[in-house]
């Protein structure tokens, strides 16, 4: 152990110190208190300049080292031993030093005294300076190499700043923070936090970030969330806040004390802000807090759940969801319930809504959340419905219909995918779960989609469209979409027989017999087939006087012409055919070919 400690036994006075100091000048030389670890054990080393050695030569210094057991510093920040009574200022007369029974800290470096010192210092600069120092130290610790240099002619101030930084970090991290209050070689010091004097720093290579403690804070770069929170706690003498921050940073995070992740510290600070009901927490900090909860929720202190209630009204979705899940697992039912409602109100899609539908969730909350998502164009209804607990499915569908009703047309069309329309059709018209008349415009879009894609359903779909109670102007585009492709004679006959009034009232239906006849005449069937002639007869009976009636008469005349036994009868039938119109022309040509 002696061999491991010896390399640390060094002291060189500052260049501007007296070369031949008198006894009363020795107290002006900076005292060096070093803290590091050797072979896993804490090393505390204090060096003080003595001036002359036994031969009268200047350069003599006295070093006092304490190598502690790992658990001897438990609950004590090493810097608290700055002015501890254990230190000797001069060599002992005995060569065998007694063991130190207890490491009694310096009472002048307790948190309360340090807070008062900061408050009496250089105004608001003290807290801005603190944030900068903490930010730099955290960055160096996170990297695992480098150092931060504190420059001041008053090494007492350096020790105080080191103490403030130590109290600002979780205990395990503070225990891993090596430091030295004074070094004549700040560029080469192996410690993470190094103090030195301005005259030393003036001749240094300055390869490390430095804080000039006797100059105003410079630069506009903002410190991280953790460092800013630490500074605010010191400003308010909020030691409970510092303890809470340290506990959050250490809770289950798996953070290495030797190389703490700055992001974890920032997430902990963001979570503390939310626990305290701070308004305006940025989205990225909320996301960080949510990540901390998601990764380590079971290890989060119990007090967090109750404190988070204050922040629920301003929580974003991810954070509310994370708090809901882990608070529920921790048995904090009230905050879990509030966060579920908050997450519901901001759920990004319908699937997210149903995943929050658990026992005790209000039906009204599900309806409202589903309505909001549908209104904004959520198109994941089929998947959400499949995941939705059975007891909430009706609420989900009701909310979707409510939202689609007030959505603009492009949004509604985008949300009503084919799969969504199939689902809503079955729920509206097959199972009877929903009433289509509560959302006729939505039902019309659903029916248009199903009818267009499923020909065998078109007649039934048409009846449902006609029963929606909408105007001719509103329904005809829907009916046109359903019957975009003209039906065959059998289907058209079924339609006319089932909905004669609809065919008479709606142009989109009234034109279908003519389209069917033209399709048949173009080669997709025979004008003399029994189904075609039955359609013609039904049209003439049920839709008299219109274009469909006229086309049905052409079909009948064509049939009479080609089936007449006597030429005179055939000629008479041909003469009855109009000479204008595509159907008439095709019928005349067909009859002429056959005769």
Give the pLDDT confidence score for residue 191 in this predicted structure: 95
* Cβ–Cβ < 8 Å for 173, 139: no
254: in domain: no
75: in domain: no
* Torsions phi, psi for 7 (to 5 deg): -60, -20
Give the pLDDT confidence score for residue 251 in this predicted structure: 77
How many CB atoms are located within 10 Å of the residue 299 CB? Answer: 12
Give the pLDDT confidence score for residue 562 in this predicted structure: 74
149: left (phi over 0), alpha (psi -120 to 50) or beta: beta
157: in domain: no
* Cβ–Cβ < 8 Å for 405, 417: no
- Regarding whether 516 and 436 lie in a shared domain, the answer is no
537: in domain: yes
Residue 151 is encoded by which pair of tokens?
A: 């420059």
- Regarding whether 496 and 468 lie in a shared domain, the answer is no
Give the pLDDT confidence score for residue 383 in this predicted structure: 95
Give the pLDDT confidence score for residue 34 in this predicted structure: 97
Give the pLDDT confidence score for residue 500 in this predicted structure: 94
The Cα-based distances of 313 to 287, 320, 335, 342, 372 in angstroms read: 16, 9, 11, 7, 18
Domain boundary among 439, 468, 485: 485
Residue 280 has what DSSP assignment? T
592: in domain: yes
421: in domain: yes
- Regarding whether 583 and 513 lie in a shared domain, the answer is yes
307: in domain: no
- Regarding whether 557 and 481 lie in a shared domain, the answer is no
Give the pLDDT confidence score for residue 594 in this predicted structure: 66
* Cβ–Cβ < 8 Å for 290, 346: no
Give the pLDDT confidence score for residue 595 in this predicted structure: 57
- Regarding whether 530 and 444 lie in a shared domain, the answer is no
How many CB atoms are located within 10 Å of the residue 484 CB? Answer: 11
Report how far residue 296's alpha carbon sits from residue 132's, in angstroms, rounded to the nearest whole number. 28
Give the pLDDT confidence score for residue 474 in this predicted structure: 93
How many CB atoms are located within 10 Å of the residue 160 CB? Answer: 23
**H/E element holding 151?**
strand 148-151
If you write DSSP's letter for every residue of 399-463 in order, what string do you get? HHHHHHHHS-HHHHHHH--HHHHHHHHIIIIIS-SS-GGGSHHHHHHHHHHHHHH-GGGHHHHHH
Domain boundary among 438, 462, 485: 485
Domain boundary among 435, 458, 485: 485
- Regarding whether 554 and 529 lie in a shared domain, the answer is yes
- Regarding whether 584 and 564 lie in a shared domain, the answer is yes
Q: Which of 481, 540, 480, 470 is nearest to 507 (CA)?
A: 480
Report how far residue 275's alpha carbon sits from residue 280's, in angstroms, rounded to the nearest whole number. 13
480: in domain: yes
- Regarding whether 524 and 474 lie in a shared domain, the answer is no
Supply the range of the domain harboring residue 572.
492-595
- Regarding whether 536 and 442 lie in a shared domain, the answer is no
- Regarding whether 496 and 481 lie in a shared domain, the answer is no
- Regarding whether 588 and 522 lie in a shared domain, the answer is yes
Give the pLDDT confidence score for residue 181 in this predicted structure: 98
Give the pLDDT confidence score for residue 477 in this predicted structure: 94
- Regarding whether 498 and 461 lie in a shared domain, the answer is no
Residue-by-residue pLDDT tens, the chain, 595 positions:
677 788 888 899 999 888 888 777 888 899 999 999 998 899 999 999 888 766 667 778 889 998 888 888 888 899 999 998 888 887 776 666 667 777 888 778 999 999 999 998 765 689 999 999 999 999 999 998 999 999 999 999 999 999 999 999 999 999 999 999 999 999 999 999 999 999 999 988 888 889 999 998 887 788 999 999 999 999 999 999 999 999 998 875 556 777 788 999 999 999 999 888 888 888 888 888 888 888 877 778 888 888 888 888 888 888 888 888 888 887 888 888 888 888 888 999 999 999 888 767 888 999 999 999 999 999 999 999 999 999 999 999 999 999 999 999 999 999 999 999 999 999 888 776 665 557 888 999 999 999 999 999 999 999 999 999 999 999 999 999 999 999 999 999 999 999 999 999 999 999 999 999 999 888 755 888 899 999 999 999 999 988 898 888 888 888 777 777 667 666 676 666 665 678 777 766 776 666 5
* Cβ–Cβ < 8 Å for 217, 235: no
Report how far residue 87's alpha carbon sits from residue 274's, in angstroms, rounded to the nearest whole number. 44
Q: Provide the domain count of the chain.
A: 2
Report how far residue 271's alpha carbon sits from residue 292's, in angstroms, rounded to the nearest whole number. 8
């Amino acid at each position: 152990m002696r061999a491991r400690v010896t390399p640390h036994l060094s002291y060189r006075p500052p260049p501007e110190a007296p070369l031949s100091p008198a006894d009363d000048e020795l107290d002006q030389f900076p005292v060096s208190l070093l803290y590091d670890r050797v072979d896993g054990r804490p090393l505390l080393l204090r060096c003080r300049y003595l001036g002359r050695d036994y031969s009268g030569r200047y350069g003599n210094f006295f070093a006092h080292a304490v190598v502690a057991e790992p658990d001897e510093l438990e609950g004590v920040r090493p810097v608290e031993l700055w002015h501890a009574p254990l230190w000797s200022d001069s060599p002992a007369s005995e060569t065998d030093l007694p063991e130190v029974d207890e490491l009694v800290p310096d009472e002048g470096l307790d948190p309360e005294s340090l807070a008062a010192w900061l408050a009496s210092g250089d105004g608001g600069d003290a807290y801005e300076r603190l944030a900068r120092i903490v930010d730099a130290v955290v960055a160096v610790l996170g990297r695992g190499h480098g150092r931060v240099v504190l420059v001041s002619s008053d090494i007492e101030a350096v020790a105080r700043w080191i103490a403030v930084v130590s109290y600002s970090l979780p205990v395990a991290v503070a225990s891993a923070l090596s430091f030295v209050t004074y070094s004549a070689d700040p560029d080469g010091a192996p410690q993470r936090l190094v103090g030195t004097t301005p005259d030393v720093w003036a001749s240094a290579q300055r390869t490390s970030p430095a804080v000039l403690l006797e100059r105003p804070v410079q630069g506009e770069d903002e410190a991280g969330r953790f460092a800013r929170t630490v500074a605010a706690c010191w400003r308010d003498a909020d030691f409970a806040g510092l303890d809470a921050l340290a506990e959050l940073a250490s809770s289950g995070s798996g953070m290495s004390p030797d190389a703490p992740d700055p992001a974890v510290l920032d997430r902990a600070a963001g979570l503390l802000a939310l626990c305290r009901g701070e308004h305006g927490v940025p989205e990225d900090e909320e996301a960080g807090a949510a990540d901390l909860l998601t990764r380590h929720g079971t290890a989060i202190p119990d007090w967090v759940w109750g404190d988070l209630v204050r922040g629920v009204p301003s929580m974003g979705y991810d954070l509310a969801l994370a708090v809901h899940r882990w608070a529920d697992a921790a048995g904090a039912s009230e905050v879990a319930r509030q966060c579920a409602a908050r997450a519901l109100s901001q759920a990004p899609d319908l699937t997210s809504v149903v995943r929050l539908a658990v026992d005790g969730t209000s039906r009204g909350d599900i309806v409202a959340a589903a309505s909001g998502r549908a209104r904004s164009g959520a198109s994941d209804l089929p998947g959400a419905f499949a995941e939705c607990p059975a007891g909430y499915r009706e609420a989900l569908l009701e909310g979707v219909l409510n939202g689609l009703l007030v959505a603009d047309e492009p949004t509604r069309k985008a949300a009503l995918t084919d799969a969504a329309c199939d689902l809503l059709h079955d729920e509206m018209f097959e199972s009877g779960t929903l009433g289509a008349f509560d959302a006729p415009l939505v039902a019309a879009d659903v029916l248009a989609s199903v009818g267009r894609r499923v020909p065998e359903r078109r007649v039934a779909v048409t009846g449902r469209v006609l029963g929606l109670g909408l105007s001719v102007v509103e329904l005809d585009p829907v009916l046109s979409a359903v019957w975009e492709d003209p039906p065959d004679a059998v289907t058209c006959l079924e339609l006319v027989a089932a909905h004669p009034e609809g065919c008479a009232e709606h142009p989109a239906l009234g034109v279908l017999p003519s389209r069917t006849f033209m399709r048949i005449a173009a080669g997709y069937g025979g004008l003399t087939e029994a189904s075609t002639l039955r359609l013609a007869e039904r049209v003439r009976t049920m839709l008299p006087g219109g274009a469909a009636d006229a086309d049905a008469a052409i079909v009948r005349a064509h049939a009479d012409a080609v089936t007449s036994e006597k030429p005179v009868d055939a000629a008479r039938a041909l003469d009855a055919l109009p000479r204008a119109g595509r159907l008439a022309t095709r019928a005349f040509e067909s009859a002429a070919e056959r005769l």
